[in-house]
């Protein structure tokens, strides 16, 4: 998403959100009077013994605290506002349906964060280039998660969050994705490949 959209229209967007003149869909938020759609989707591939098993694209649920962060970056309050420069992926194992009121502080318990993978921290969502065509993400730079020995593991979704430590209750949650087809009975050595694309566009 281009920051120009937020810098130019952040006050108007904030007013529309405050006055509840918007519609939440399965994959984002439509600001009906402004004709703007904001949302994202996650492409997830799973691998066993180096061979791809399944691939699916699932819509996200944008979180209120993430939307507030975008508004504060684009239209900072007096005194300034610190922009988050790195986001992370946090898979969860709870049979949980994301809600916009979910926060990063609640996430590890409410969604039952999954931490049994080999990396010592949550994998980074590495965005390699500036946004174009009102879209941004890590396309072509897939994040890989390798499951630790053991299992079976059931994975139901993933959170995009600003804090890197597994299980931490700090930071800001941007979006949560519930897999339409949960990855069930995964075992040590299996992998998830994750790409996320975030879009802000004219919905007219």
pLDDT at 201: 65
pLDDT at 4: 43
pTM for the structure as a whole: 0.82
At 59-72, the pLDDT tens digits run 889 899 998 898 88
pLDDT at 172: 97
pLDDT at 9: 42
> Taking the domains of the chain in order of start, what are their residue ranges?
3-202
Three-state SS at 130: coil
Q: Which parts of the chain register pLDDT below 50?
A: 1-23, 25-35
pLDDT at 199: 79
At 79-106, the pLDDT tens digits run 999 999 999 999 999 999 999 999 999 9
Cα 7 to Cα 171: distance, rounded to the nearest angstrom: 23
Contact by Cβ (8 Å): 81, 72:
yes
pLDDT at 129: 86
CB burial readout 60-72, b (16+ within 10 A) else e = bbbbebbbebbbb
């Amino acid at each position: 998403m281009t920051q120009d959209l937020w810098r130019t229209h952040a006050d108007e967007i904030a007013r529309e959100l405050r006055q509840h003149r918007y519609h939440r869909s399965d994959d984002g938020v439509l600001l009906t009077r402004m004709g703007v759609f904001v949302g994202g989707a996650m492409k997830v591939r799973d691998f066993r013994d180096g061979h791809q098993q399944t691939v699916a694209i699932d819509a996200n649920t944008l979180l209120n605290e993430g939307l507030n962060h975008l508004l504060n970056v684009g239209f900072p309050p007096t005194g300034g506002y610190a922009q988050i420069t790195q986001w992370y992926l946090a898979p969860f194992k709870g049979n949980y349906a994301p809600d916009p009121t979910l926060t990063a502080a609640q996430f590890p318990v409410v969604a039952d964060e999954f931490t049994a993978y080999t990396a010592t921290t949550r994998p980074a969502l590495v965005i390699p280039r500036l946004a174009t065509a009102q879209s941004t993400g890590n396309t072509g730079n897939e994040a890989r998660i390798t499951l630790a020995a053991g299992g079976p593991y059931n994975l139901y979704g993933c959170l995009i969050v600003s804090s890197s430590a597994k299980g931490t209750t700090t930071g800001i949650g941007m979006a949560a994705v519930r897999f339409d087809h949960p990855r069930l009975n995964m075992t040590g050595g299996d992998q998830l490949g994750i790409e996320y694309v975030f879009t802000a566009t004219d919905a007219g």
